[in-house]
Amino acid sequence: MAEEKKESIIASALKLFAEKGYHNTKVSDIVKDAGMAQGTFYLYFKSKEDLFRCVAERCLDEIAGALAQGAQEQNAACNPAPMRSMIRRILEIYYSNLTIVNIINQHGAASPEIADISKQFYARMAGQIKDILKHSNAYPGYTEEQLDMTSYAKIGLVEMAAYQWFVERRNGPERIDELTEVLLGINMNCGLNAEGSSGL
Amino acid sequence: MAEEKKESIIASALKLFAEKGYHNTKVSDIVKDAGMAQGTFYLYFKSKEDLFRCVAERCLDEIAGALAQGAQEQNAACNPAPMRSMIRRILEIYYSNLTIVNIINQHGAASPEIADISKQFYARMAGQIKDILKHSNAYPGYTEEQLDMTSYAKIGLVEMAAYQWFVERRNGPERIDELTEVLLGINMNCGLNAEGSSGL
Amino acid sequence: MAEEKKESIIASALKLFAEKGYHNTKVSDIVKDAGMAQGTFYLYFKSKEDLFRCVAERCLDEIAGALAQGAQEQNAACNPAPMRSMIRRILEIYYSNLTIVNIINQHGAASPEIADISKQFYARMAGQIKDILKHSNAYPGYTEEQLDMTSYAKIGLVEMAAYQWFVERRNGPERIDELTEVLLGINMNCGLNAEGSSGL
Amino acid sequence: MAEEKKESIIASALKLFAEKGYHNTKVSDIVKDAGMAQGTFYLYFKSKEDLFRCVAERCLDEIAGALAQGAQEQNAACNPAPMRSMIRRILEIYYSNLTIVNIINQHGAASPEIADISKQFYARMAGQIKDILKHSNAYPGYTEEQLDMTSYAKIGLVEMAAYQWFVERRNGPERIDELTEVLLGINMNCGLNAEGSSGL
DNA sequence: GATGAATGAGAATTCATTCAT
DNA sequence: CATGAATGAATTCTCATTCAT
């Protein structure tokens, strides 16, 4: 039951942070939403900042965990289109976590500890993508650094698309497949056959 | 001299917002950095929020202006590689504005007015990219919506790469060419020739 | 076993009050130290203040009791040096109670009830000393009030010395004899033979 | 005027601490007494504890300063009865500072920084008394440590007498001379001519 | 215009006490 | 008897904004 209370605080915080942002969410809002007294909050968290750390850690861990699990299942199955699966997985997971990921990135700017958590999260995700790139041998001759940049860039691509799709345009999960195909079809050097990515 | 004071406040605010985030930057920090009294601030801005609006508007206008100008010059010159030029331009502009763009996006979550400014900014950028896509006829048969997603996704790709490259890895502008080529070489459907973006 | 629990609370409280003062000792600290649940505390004491009263009363009773007992033994034995014995006894008793006596005096300032307990304690001690002074006829011609002042002053003298000796300089009981002799040798009108305590 | 405000806070704090103790005095009480808003308090002090530090430091410095000044004047005048003057000076100064000195000693228990200030204060006072003892050659053959104890003991004697006289018995300053003579007449080894402070 | 001290509403945090199990 | 999670009133502290000089 102690865990229940803690979970209930985290759930309310997640909801409210996503709705109003970290700074516009008062501790009093959280406990009101969670249906408990203000003092109870401090039985489970040292401070509002401490709660945020927990929320961020758990949220990103969950996402990263889901991604990693998906990756394993695929490798086991000798997945013939790992990039497509990866994109679909990221989209699925982001679907229910986008605003909170944004909040975390926001608040990170002001709190080095959160910045670290978030940095590690992206590093993990980029690592998984880099693995796919290496196995597919799609970018022969690339340095590690260039593969890093490619991986991070792909994350950014999916994140931005997800934000537009789910948050701005309020689409539900039913068209994730279509979005996946659109993203998969993206080629940065579009329609310019006279010149390739010559320099690399 | 009235304008000087205002500029000086904006400059300090830009610096401090980028360093510590909006909420962790106190009005007192800004005026201290700008070397003036606290009351002076309110001669030039109605409130802290008002300052933020100014900073955001100006910053995004600058970026969008530079992008638009670049686009025109290119069209005039019948640029043979518009996507490459676009990416390089975005990278150049982001190089000196990255942190503040982040802050603006962050704060948007908590302030509808800023969210609007930021939304319009991205819409403008996406519009330009969509134009390029249409002219290049790189994505035949795509719906408008699908072209939108493609455009936004490309912005996200460049933004994330820029963030990693300039902020996290502290690179200077001297390797923008190389980064441009890497991004240009990105193909989301990497190494999977058996299946194209079939469904679209 | 009920008594055991109560004693255990008092013991922990004594220790913690001495270490950190009354206000910096939380009820939660006390029960943690005593190894019991927070609620248990209120089975034995009406409130934190009530505990303090008990601690203070018991502590001062113990001291006063030891002093009184010593006094009787001496009178019975026609003690030839009652002041020396008195000082040694006070030192011995203070040795194990000094910090708590301090705490009691401190807290008294803020709590009239405790102030009373402490006042009565000193009054008892001063009374005993006054008796010695009267029997020894050391201050002929003194009014009762002047004898009172003399008695209280002597208590202060011993208290301060004890504090310095035991608390600040961390001496153990092995040098109580030496300290007794030093205190016994104190003459306020030191080295000034031309003038005595003339006016009295 | 900045100084005025600060002084006014300190004055109110001194008064209220003396009346009700540190913990029973709220910041809101202090500012109400000083006639200003709560926020103003924090322009001048980092916290309530910070205020206390200031009050303690200033108060003890003032007392020690007055004592030191008195000491100098006397030396210059080849004072024939330095101990009497010293006692009278301590009594005079304590007369208006007794309760606050008590408060400081109290709070010191819980705050190492205050404990230090208070310790140094007593060390300074004891040093002055030790000088008198040495010059008067009243305790020949004493070790430094024994002289220390004697000095501290004398301070305790005066303090306790002052407390009884001024605080408990509410005497005013008009009988300071009489009290001085009583204290000066104190001889710890009262009425026991058969035995001196033999062992030293 | 410029100042910067003063404001006070609003937020976070503490902790003695209660009470259902 | 014992527990310890829950309470919420009380308190400290923050900071955007105002205003007299």
Same domain? A23 vs A64:
no
In a domain, D146, yes or no: yes
Chain B partners within 8 Å of A103 (Cβ): 109
Same domain? C149 vs C107:
yes
Q: Give strand F nucleotides closer than 7 A to any protein Cβ.
A: 1-20
Which residue out of D131, D164, D175 would a mutagenesis test of the C interface target, given it has the greatest number of C Cβ atoms within 10 Å?
D164
Nearest protein residue to nucleotide F2 (CA to C1' distance) is C40
CATH of the domain at C117: 1.10.357.10
Whether C10 shows a pLDDT value over 50: the answer reads yes
Nearest to B191 among A105, A138, A155 (CB): A138
Q: Which nucleotide is nearest to D27 (CA to C1')?
A: F12
Handedness of CA C163, C167, C173, C179 (dihedral sign): negative
Give the residue ranges of DSSP H helices in chain D. 2-20, 27-34, 38-44, 48-76, 82-95, 98-108, 112-136, 144-162, 176-184
Question: How do the pLDDT tens digits run along chain A, 200 residues long?
Answer: 678 899 999 999 999 998 888 899 999 999 999 999 999 999 999 999 999 999 999 888 888 888 887 777 777 777 778 889 889 999 998 888 887 887 787 776 677 788 888 888 899 999 999 999 998 888 999 999 999 999 999 999 999 999 999 989 999 999 999 999 999 999 998 654 444 444 44
In a domain, D69, yes or no: yes
**Backbone torsions φ then ψ of D187, nearest 5 degrees:** -135, 115
- Could you tell me if C44 and C104 are in contact, meaning their C-beta atoms sit under 8 angstroms apart? no
In a domain, B193, yes or no: no
How far B160 CA sits from the closest chain A CA (Å)? 5
Through-space separation of residue C5 CA and nucleotide F2 C1' in angstroms: 11
Separation of alpha carbons B51 and B44, rounded Å: 9
How far C56 CA sits from the closest chain D CA (Å)? 15
Can you say whether residue D142 is alpha, beta or left, with left for phi > 0 and alpha for psi between -120 and 50 degrees?
beta
Whether C34 shows a pLDDT value over 50: the answer reads yes
Report pLDDT for B130.
93
In a domain, B153, yes or no: yes
Report pLDDT for A197.
41
Same domain? D100 vs D176:
yes
Question: How do the pLDDT tens digits run along chain D, 200 residues long?
Answer: 678 899 999 999 999 998 888 899 999 999 999 999 999 999 999 999 999 999 998 888 888 888 887 777 777 666 777 888 889 989 998 888 877 887 887 777 677 788 888 888 899 999 999 998 998 888 988 999 999 999 999 999 999 999 999 988 999 899 999 999 999 999 887 654 444 444 44
More confident residue, C195 or B5: B5
Through-space separation of residue B95 CA and nucleotide E2 C1' in angstroms: 36
Size of interface C-D (CB pairs under 8 A): 202
Angle at C169 between CA C168 and CA C170, to 5 degrees: 95
D102, closest residue in chain C (CA to CA): C106
C38 touches strand E (CB under 7 A): yes
- Could you tell me if D115 and D108 are in contact, meaning their C-beta atoms sit under 8 angstroms apart? yes
Q: Please provide the DSSP assignment of C159-181 as one string.
A: HHHHIIIIIIS---GGGHHHHHH
Give the residue ranges of DSSP H helices in C21-143. 27-34, 38-44, 48-76, 82-95, 98-108, 112-136
Nearest to B136 among A105, A158, A191 (CB): A191
Same domain? D143 vs D72:
yes
- Could you tell me if B161 and B107 are in contact, meaning their C-beta atoms sit under 8 angstroms apart? no
Q: Which pair of structure tokens corresponds to residue A88?
A: 């679909």
Same domain? C20 vs C57:
no
Same domain? D60 vs D29:
no
Same domain? A93 vs A54:
yes
Give me the domain span that covers residue C113: 49-184
Through-space separation of residue D42 CA and nucleotide F20 C1' in angstroms: 21
Query: What are the beta bridge partners of residue C187?
Result: D187
Contact A188 B187 (CB under 8 A): yes
Q: Mean per-residue pLDDT for B79-91?
A: 86
Domain tally, chain A? 2
B142, closest residue in chain A (CA to CA): A182
In a domain, C192, yes or no: no
Percent helix / strand / coil, chain D, rounded to 5: 75, 0, 25
In a domain, A192, yes or no: no
Separation of alpha carbons D73 and A195, rounded Å: 97
Report pLDDT for C77.
64
How far A122 CA sits from the closest chain B CA (Å)? 10
Report pLDDT for B21.
85
Report pLDDT for B105.
75
Single-letter code of the amino acid located at D163: Y
Which residue, among C156, C154, C140, has the nearest Cα to C197 in the 3D structure? C140
Q: Mean per-residue pLDDT for B135-148?
A: 92
C185, closest residue in chain D (CA to CA): D197
Same domain? C30 vs C72:
no
Same domain? D7 vs D102:
no
Which residue out of B169, B188, B195, B197 would a mutagenesis test of the A interface target, given it has the greatest number of A Cβ atoms within 10 Å?
B188
Report pLDDT for D137.
86
Same domain? B62 vs B40:
no
In a domain, C28, yes or no: yes
Q: Which nucleotide is nearest to D49 (CA to C1')?
A: F12
> Which distant-in-sequence residues (6+ apart) come within 8 Å of A157 by Cβ?
A183, A186, B153, B154, B156, B157, B160, B188
Q: Mean per-residue pLDDT for C9-31?
A: 92
Q: Which nucleotide is nearest to B23 (CA to C1')?
A: F15
How far B50 CA sits from the closest chain A CA (Å)? 17
In a domain, B77, yes or no: yes
Report pLDDT for B102.
76
How far C54 CA sits from the closest chain D CA (Å)? 20
Report pLDDT for B199.
43
Separation of alpha carbons A41 and D103, rounded Å: 35
Contact D185 C188 (CB under 8 A): yes
- Output the average pLDDT for chain C: 84
Give per-residue pLDDT as tens, D146-198: 999 999 999 999 999 999 999 889 998 999 999 999 999 998 876 544 444 44
Q: Mean per-residue pLDDT for C159-186?
A: 92
Q: Give strand E nucleotides closer than 7 A to any protein Cβ.
A: 1-20
Through-space separation of residue C108 CA and nucleotide F2 C1' in angstroms: 33
Give per-residue pLDDT as tens, C36-45: 999 999 999 9
CATH of the domain at D39: 1.10.10.60
**Backbone torsions φ then ψ of D112, nearest 5 degrees:** -55, -35
Give the lowest-confidence range in A129-138, B31-40, C111-120. Answer: C111-120
Query: pLDDT grade, residue B110 (50/70/90)?
Result: low
Same domain? A164 vs A81:
yes
Same domain? B40 vs B67:
no
